[in-house]
Amino acid sequence: MAIKTTFFRQDFNQILAKYDLGEWLHAESITQGTVQTNYLLHTTHGKYVFRYYENRSRESILFEHELLSYLKTNGYPCPSPIENQNGNCVGIYDDKPFSIFEFIAGVPLVQPTEIHKQQLIQKVAELQILGKDFHSPYQKYRWNYDPRLCSELANKEAQKIGTDDSLAKLTWLEKQLITLALSDSHPKGICHGDFHFSNVLFQGDRFVGLIDFDDANHTYLTFDLICLIDSWAWPYQSNSLALEQARKIVQEYERFRPLSDSERHHLYDVHKLCILFDCIWFFSRGSAGDFYERKKIEYLDDLGRCRYKQALFTL
C-alpha cells in the first residue's frame, strides 16, 4: 500500500550516482505508511531508507530535515537525512522530491508492552521539551494544527464532497471550533502527530528511534499527549474515554515534562481539537447527525471540562 511509485535498478543507480553511498545491491519496499513511497536500500556501504514524496513541497521537506538535524544534534533518537555530493538533502526525480535517510537498526512492534509504552511516553515528552525551542523559516509550509487550519481543511472537504450532508457536517464542526478556548498564547512547539507503532523502533525492550516525521508540525505542545491518550485510552468505536488509563498516561508524561496550569486547564480543548481533525481525515464517514467523532465530542461535552480535568489530574 505504501508503494505508489515503483522504482527499478536503473532508477536507483541514477539517484545513487549523486551520493557517496556505494553501489546499489538491491531494494525492498517498506509497507508501513500510507502516503509516501519508501524503500530500504542496500548498497556496498550499508543500508539506507529512500523516501519519495508523493505530496510534499520541497519547503515542507526542508522543515522536516531542519527539525531532524536539530533533534539529532540534541541527542534525540531519530534518523538523519543524508546529503548528496552537492550538500543537499532533497533531490528531485521525475519532478518529485526525495530524500535518503540513515537506517536505524530496530523493529516496530505489533503488540507493545507497558514497558514499551512507558518509553514512548517519555520520548514524546522529551520531544516537546526540545520542540518548544525549535523554529524554522519553513514552518509555514506545514499544516500546523490549530482551529484555523481545521476550519480551512473542513471547508475544502465539504466542498469536494458537495452534498447537503457534508455541508451540515461542516456547520456542526465550525460551531465546535468556536467553543474551543485556545488562544495564540497557549504554549506551542513541535509535535510528531503520528505515534502508530510502525513509526516507533525498538531493540528488545529498548527504544531506539522515532521515525516518519511526515506529519510533524508546530502546534499546541499537548497535542502529542492527546494523540497518545486518544489512541490508547479511547479505542475506535468505544463509547467513552477510559479515564483511569488516560490519567496514567498523563502521570507518566508529567514525570518528564510537567504541564503548566494553562496546559492542564486547556487539555480538554486540545483533546476536542484532535477529534475534530480526525473528523476531517474521515469526513465522508457517517452522516452529519450520526458519526463517530460527533459521538466523542458529545461524550466530552457531557463529561465537562471540570470533571475531565479532575479525572486526569487528581491523585
What CATH code is assigned to 9-102?
3.30.200.20
pLDDT digits (tens, 9 = 90+) for 106-159: 999 888 999 999 999 999 999 999 999 999 999 999 999 999 999 999 999 999
CATH (residue range 114-313): 3.90.1200.10
Give me Rg for the CA atoms of the chain: 21
Q: Give the per-residue pLDDT at 150.
A: 98
User: Is the CB of residue 77 less than 8 Å from the CB of residue 123?
Assistant: yes
Does position 1 have pLDDT exceeding 60, yes or no?
Answer: no
Q: What are the structural domain ranges in the chain?
A: 9-102, 114-313
- pLDDT 10s digits, 28-85: 998 776 789 999 999 999 999 999 999 999 999 999 999 999 999 999 999 999 999 9
Q: What is the pTM of this model?
A: 0.94
Scan for cell 483511569, then name that residue. Answer: 244
**Residue 150: which of 172, 134, 129, 130 has the closest Cα?**
172
User: Buried b vs exposed e over 221-243: b needs ≥16 C-beta within 10 Å?
Assistant: bbbbbbbbbbbbbbeeeeeebeb
Give the chain's mean pLDDT: 95
Q: Is the dihedral of CA 124, 130, 133, 136 positive or negative?
A: negative
Pairing mode of beta strands 188-191, 217-220: antiparallel
Please work out, in degrees rounded to the nearest 5, the angle formed at the alpha carbon of residue 110 by the alpha carbons of 106 and 114.
Answer: 90
**How much is the average pLDDT of 207-218?**
96
Confidence of residue 2 (pLDDT cuts 50, 70, 90): low
